[in-house]
Amino acid sequence: MPRIWFDPAVTLSDIQRMNARTMAEHLGIVYTAIGDNSLSATMPVDDRTRQPAGLLHGGASCVLAETLGSIASYLVIDPAHLQPVGLEINANHIRGVREGLVAGTATALHLGKTTHVWDIRIADERGSLVCISRLTVALIKVRQA
């Protein structure tokens, strides 16, 4: 698959700046790699992302997945004309994690004119699969003022 990004010169620093003053910044999500058709990031497993039993909260995994897929969709489109919004997310939580970092990678499955579908795989520091998620993103027209 050829490189899918609207701006082929986009950098990880450019992407990281999008997290300013968002849930992603609050949870410590850091972008780590941009491939030809994928985007990766890490998230700490700490007091911000654990559930009461001390495991990574499934909702935090969904936040990482939706953040990766939504930002990836934003990077594919011309933001002067379209805006990506999450339409549907599902997640299968495979394994618990108590500490460290989890790493997620969103890979494009479908890049249509009105929807994108992303496969997001989240693994622990040993590379063991923690969560598999699929995100469908709707592309809506930007309203001109």
| Sheet strands (E) in the chain | 30-34, 38-45, 82-93, 100-111, 115-123, 129-141
129: helix, coil or strand? strand
Number of Cβ within a 10 Å radius of residue 14: 13
Is 66 part of the annotated catalytic residue set? yes
Q: Which of 66, 88, 99, 125 is catalytic?
A: 66
Active site residues: 66
